[in-house]
Amino acid sequence: MLLKLSDSPKYFWTQHSKIKMRQYRLSEQRVLRVLRRPDRKEEGIAPDTLAAMQIAGTKKHPTEIWLMYIILKRSKGIKIISTWRYPARSPIGKSIPVPQDILDELDSILRE
């Protein structure tokens, strides 16, 4: 069962992002909070994408919530491509730590 996300003209969700939100137990509000107030922004792994991160978890079990998105020109909205939870603190300025299963799925999405 996929998530029923709000039909906002401002945000568009891919099926991949809906599946990953369910997998990592992330709500629509939590993902949008990462988008609105990220702790860090970087270039995404796919061409012309952006990535945003917000620190989550505890001191004993730190995690990061990552979001990859693209800004749409014509519709003046944002398309959420993927989201995931990273189980540690990632190094600043280095490549974004994306799980391999997400990389494989993104490759197949971008080939379509």
Of 58, 49, 52, which is closest to residue 87 (Cα–Cα)? 58
Question: For the chain, how are helix, strand and coil distributed in percent, rounded to 5?
Answer: 25, 30, 45
Could you report how far apart the first and last alpha carbons of the chain are, in Å? 23
Q: Are 91 and 73 in contact (CB under 8 A)?
A: no
Backbone torsions φ then ψ of 108, nearest 5 degrees: -70, -35
16-47 pLDDT, tens per residue? 999 999 999 999 999 999 999 999 998 888 87
Q: For residue 31, which amino acid is it?
A: V
* Model confidence, pTM: 0.76
**CA–CA distance, 63 with 33 (Å, rounded to integer):** 16
76-109 pLDDT, tens per residue? 889 999 999 988 877 777 766 677 887 787 777 7
